[in-house]
């Protein structure tokens, strides 16, 4: 940082401010457009909902739907066409579209090419029923079909009492609320911040100037975002007033057309799920608190986004201001052939490894499930809720009615503890068994050595799911060979998968069988590389067999053994097949390990976001372990 020159700091600050203003300003612009577009759509919804309310009342009173529909199109300036579908009778009940009427007088039966209209009505019916039965608003009760830039077609449910048995299609032309344009004040503040920095650069040098720039950058961008958000809030209040005004106009027009009907403008002000928005009352007065509450939620999301973008701007400032850009550029120029060679592999890694990984991490911050898999991730953002949910549940056991301790086997910490137990015991068994067998095979002049070696490697050669299924069969309570042997010696058969410790033993035995050949092969290779001079020297010095093993053999094979152990720990930690096939988590999920649990959450419960968070947690645990292991053993130095 002491290398940063005044010029670098100023350039860095300028670039960072420009990037920050462009990005945060971009978000503000999108938000502003969204507010205006949302208000335009809401105007259309209000109009369409009024039409649907009136038509439902006309139908209930056996009035002339077609005549009222025509009248509404005439009276309401923003309504271009109305169609009424009766899904119960499969009728086109009314239509103001000339083309529809040439195909036959209304009401008439819907034709095959008009199936989509019928399906829309049935969809609204099902969605309304779902929302009612689940007691929340999840399914759309207003369908939006964008027709052209200035037109929007809305399909609303046609109610008969409390149930839906048809739909009303309303083609509306946009009523865009008028709002004041963006202000220049925020930009002026940012420019001022930069000018102050330029002035400062006369007084300060080096790291002090860098620090001053940092402060000005933070203050400048914060002020820019805050002023922009305030401007947005003003726009929002304006458009809500415009919507209320529009609703009053619609009421007057509709009232003229259908005098006998009850008209409630608050019932027209609904969101896409049919839930009331409550932003104005029956008299058309804007409910400021409701609007502000909505703004607070939007402001929080904007704050998160602006904060992230601000951090990004600060990173750029650091990168440029502290001279890293220059150094990066120099390194790229100096070693351009080397980077050229690495480039294809880097692209491959980015596409095949880093992108899926990053996608998984992003997914872990959403609540994507089977139900909302086709929605954009942005709409499903829940922040770190999944992580809190996973990590905060520390109640591993609770006390039952009779005072006994009942373990909740589904708890994350139980599963984590079990996974660690599983890993440690498996690797210990694998290493010791492998080492012992390697030592035996390494005996000089051992007869039939190649034969033994092949036999001992066989468990490794058989596909592990086949081995797993065979072992599962051997542990069967009534017909498994292990229980039959126990019974042969007069013992009671054991129900292996009934208690977690016997179930654990079963999976442990299976995995030990699978894991020792690898350790044996690794150890054997290392053993054969030890020079016999070392043993000779040890014997001359009077070392016992035990001392030879402890001071000569072990240190010599350590460089080969330690990476193998690290690998083996990671494999065993994520040894999916054995648990999934042999114990299947029995009893009651007690012998589930983290990776099988993550699989079940993703593909049995279809909670993709939650499962992604689970996987990220597994990744973090393994990463911490890997870093720690490297520190302790310095294993990578030997390679």
x/- track of binding to another protein for residues 357-396 (CB under 8 A): ----------x-xxxxxx------------------x---
From CA 512, how far away is CA 517, in angstroms rounded? 9
From CA 463, how far away is CA 474, in angstroms rounded? 17
Among 151, 411, 548, 633, binds another protein (CB under 8 A): 411
What is the size of the binding site for another protein (CB under 8 A)? 47
Residue 130 as a binder of another protein (CB under 8 A): the answer is yes
Among 6, 57, 151, 408, binds another protein (CB under 8 A): 408
Among 7, 89, 115, 327, binds another protein (CB under 8 A): 115
Site for another protein in 43-102 (CB under 8 A): 90
From CA 552, how far away is CA 427, in angstroms rounded? 23
Smallest distance, another protein to C-beta of residue 550, A: 47
From CA 452, how far away is CA 437, in angstroms rounded? 10
| Burial (CB count within 10 angstroms: exposed 0-12, middle 13-18, buried 19+), residue 570 | middle
Site for another protein in 580-619 (CB under 8 A): 586-589, 600-601, 604-607, 610
- Residue 231 or 609: which CB sits closer to another protein? 609
Backbone torsions φ then ψ of 500, nearest 5 degrees:
-65, -30
Smallest distance, another protein to C-beta of residue 632, A: 34
Q: What does the DSSP assignment read for 409-458?
A: TTSHHHHHHHHHHHHHHHHHHHHHHHHHHHHHHTSTT-TTHHHHHHHHHH
- Residue 85 or 244: which CB sits closer to another protein? 85
Smallest distance, another protein to C-beta of residue 500, A: 11
Cα 394-397-401 angle, rounded to 5 deg: 135
Smallest distance, another protein to C-beta of residue 136, A: 6
Among 74, 105, 134, 264, binds another protein (CB under 8 A): 134
- Residue 476 or 558: which CB sits closer to another protein? 476
Residue 7 as a binder of another protein (CB under 8 A): the answer is no
x/- track of binding to another protein for residues 456-485 (CB under 8 A): --------------------xxxx------
Confirm if 86 and 166 have CB atoms less than 8 A apart.
yes
- Residue 136 or 544: which CB sits closer to another protein? 136
Smallest distance, another protein to C-beta of residue 115, A: 5
Beta bridge partners of 168: 84, 156
From 221-229, 404-412, 423-431, 627-635, give the range in contact with another protein by CB under 8 A.
404-412
- Residue 12 or 274: which CB sits closer to another protein? 274
- Residue 59 or 472: which CB sits closer to another protein? 472
Smallest distance, another protein to C-beta of residue 474, A: 13
Among 433, 495, 509, 621, binds another protein (CB under 8 A): 495
Smallest distance, another protein to C-beta of residue 125, A: 6
Confirm if 427 and 572 have CB atoms less than 8 A apart.
yes
From 114-122, 506-514, 538-546, 553-561, give the range in contact with another protein by CB under 8 A.
114-122
Q: What does the DSSP assignment read for 84-140?
A: EEETTTTEEEEE--HHHHHT-PSSEEPPGGGHHHHHHHHHHHHHHHHHHHHTS--S-
Smallest distance, another protein to C-beta of residue 450, A: 37
Residue 498 as a binder of another protein (CB under 8 A): the answer is yes
From CA 213, how far away is CA 395, in angstroms rounded? 48
b/e per residue 272-294 (b: at least 16 CB within 10 A) = eebeebebbeeebebbeeebeee
Smallest distance, another protein to C-beta of residue 159, A: 15
Q: Which residue in this structure is represented by tokens 């030879």?
A: 548
Backbone torsions φ then ψ of 341, nearest 5 degrees:
-70, -35
Among 410, 425, 574, 630, binds another protein (CB under 8 A): 410
- Residue 11 or 469: which CB sits closer to another protein? 469
CA distances, 167 to each of 42, 88, 173, 220 (Å) = 19, 11, 19, 52
Q: Torsion over CA of 462, 465, 469 and 470, rounded to 10 degrees?
A: 10
Confirm if 86 and 107 have CB atoms less than 8 A apart.
yes
Secondary element (H or E) of residue 70: helix 65-75
Smallest distance, another protein to C-beta of residue 400, A: 9
- Residue 432 or 605: which CB sits closer to another protein? 605
- Residue 387 or 610: which CB sits closer to another protein? 610
Question: How many Å separate Cα 74 from the centre of its chain?
Answer: 49
CA distances, 253 to each of 47, 76, 250, 259 (Å) = 10, 6, 5, 10
- Residue 118 or 302: which CB sits closer to another protein? 118
Smallest distance, another protein to C-beta of residue 514, A: 22
- Residue 341 or 397: which CB sits closer to another protein? 397
Nearest Cα residue to 75 out of 253, 259, 247, 262: 253
- Residue 484 or 636: which CB sits closer to another protein? 484
- Work out the angle between the directed axes of helices 412-441 and 449-461 (0-180°, nearest 10): 160
Residue 272 as a binder of another protein (CB under 8 A): the answer is no
- Residue 136 or 432: which CB sits closer to another protein? 136
Smallest distance, another protein to C-beta of residue 467, A: 18
Among 41, 78, 86, 123, binds another protein (CB under 8 A): 123
Q: Torsion over CA of 348, 349, 351 and 354, rounded to 10 degrees?
A: 180
Question: How many Å separate Cα 559 from the centre of its chain?
Answer: 40
Among 70, 75, 108, 122, binds another protein (CB under 8 A): 122
Smallest distance, another protein to C-beta of residue 370, A: 5
Confirm if 409 and 422 have CB atoms less than 8 A apart.
no
| Burial (CB count within 10 angstroms: exposed 0-12, middle 13-18, buried 19+), residue 621 | middle
Nearest Cα residue to 107 out of 64, 75, 163, 68: 64
Name residues whose C-beta falls within 8 Å of residue 330's C-beta, 6 or more positions apart in sequence: none
**Which parts of this chain interact with another protein (CB under 8 A)?**
90, 110, 112, 115, 118-119, 122-123, 125-126, 129-130, 133-134, 136, 138, 367, 369-374, 393, 406, 408-412, 476-479, 495, 498, 586-589, 600-601, 604-607, 610
């Amino acid at each position: 940082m002491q290398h940063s020159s005044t010029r670098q700091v100023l350039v860095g600050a300028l670039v960072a401010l420009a990037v920050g203003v462009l990005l945060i300003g971009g978000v503000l612009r999108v938000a502003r457009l969204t507010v205006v577009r949302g208000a335009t759509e809401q105007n259309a919804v209000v109009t369409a909902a009024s039409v649907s309310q009136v038509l439902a009342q006309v139908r209930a009173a056996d009035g002339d739907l077609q005549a009222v529909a025509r009248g509404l199109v005439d009276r309401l300036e923003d309504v271009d066409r109305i169609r009424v579908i009766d899904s119960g009778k499969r009728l086109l009940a009314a239509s103001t579209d000339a083309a529809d009427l040439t195909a036959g007088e209304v009401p008439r039966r819907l034709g095959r090419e008009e199936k989509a209209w019928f399906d829309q009505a049935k969809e609204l019916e099902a969605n309304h029923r779902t929302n009612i039965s689940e007691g929340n608003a999840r399914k759309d009760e207003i369908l939006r079909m964008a027709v052209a830039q200035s037109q929007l077609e809305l399909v609303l449910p046609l109610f008969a009492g409390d149930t839906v048995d048809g739909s009303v299609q309303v083609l509306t032309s946009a009523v865009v609320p008028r709002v004041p344009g963006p202000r220049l004040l925020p930009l002026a503040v940012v420019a001022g911040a930069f000018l102050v920095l330029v002035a400062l650069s006369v007084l300060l040098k080096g790291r002090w100037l860098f620090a001053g720039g940092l402060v000005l950058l933070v203050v400048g961008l914060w002020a820019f975002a805050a002023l922009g958000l305030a401007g947005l809030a003003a726009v929002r209040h304006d458009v809500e007033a415009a919507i209320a005004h529009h609703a009053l106009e619609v009421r007057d027009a509709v009232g003229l057309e259908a005098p006998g009907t009850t008209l409630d403008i608050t019932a027209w002000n609904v969101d896409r799920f049919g839930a009331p928005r409550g932003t104005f009352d029956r008299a058309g007065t804007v409910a400021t608190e409701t609007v502000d509450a909505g703004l607070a939620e939007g402001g929080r999301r904007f704050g998160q986004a602006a904060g992230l973008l601000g951090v990004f701007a600060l990173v750029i400032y650091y990168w440029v201001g502290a001279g890293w850009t220059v150094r990066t550029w120099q390194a790229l120029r100096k070693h351009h052939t080397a980077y050229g060679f690495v480039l294809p592999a880097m692209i491959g890694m980015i596409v095949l490894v880093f992108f899926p990984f990053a996608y998984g991490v992003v997914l872990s911050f959403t609540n994507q499930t089977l139900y909302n898999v086709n929605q954009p991730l942005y709409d499903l953002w829940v922040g770190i809720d999944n992580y809190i949910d996973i990590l905060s549940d520390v109640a591993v056991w609770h006390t039952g009615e009779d005072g006994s301790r009942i373990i909740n086997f589904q708890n994350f910490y139980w599963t984590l503890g079990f996974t660690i137990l599983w890993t440690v015991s498996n690797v210990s068994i694998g290493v010791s068994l492998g080492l012992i067998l390697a030592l035996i095979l390494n005996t000089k002049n051992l007869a039939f050595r190649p034969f033994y070696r092949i036999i001992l490697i066989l468990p490794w050669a058989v596909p592990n799911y086949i081995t797993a299924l065979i072992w599962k069969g051997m542990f069967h309570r009534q017909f498994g060979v292990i229980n039959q042997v126990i019974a042969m010696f007069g013992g009671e058969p054991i129900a292996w998968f009934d208690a977690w410790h016997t179930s654990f033993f079963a999976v442990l035995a299976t995995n030990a069988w699978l894991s020792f050949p690898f350790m044996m092969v690794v150890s054997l290779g290392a053993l054969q590389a030890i020079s016999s001079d070392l043993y000779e020297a040890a014997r001359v010095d009077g070392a016992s067999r035990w001392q030879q093993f402890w001071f000569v053999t072990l240190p010599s094979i350590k460089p080969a053994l330690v990476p193998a152990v690290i690998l083996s720990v990671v494999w065993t930690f994520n040894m999916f097949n054995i648990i999934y096939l042999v114990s299947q988590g029995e009893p009651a999920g007690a012998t589930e390990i983290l990776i099988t649990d993550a699989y079940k959450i993703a593909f049995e419960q279809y909670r993709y976001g939650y499962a992604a968070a689970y996987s990220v947690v597994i990744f973090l645990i393994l990463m911490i372990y890997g870093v720690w292991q490297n520190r302790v053993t310095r294993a990578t130095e030997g390679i």
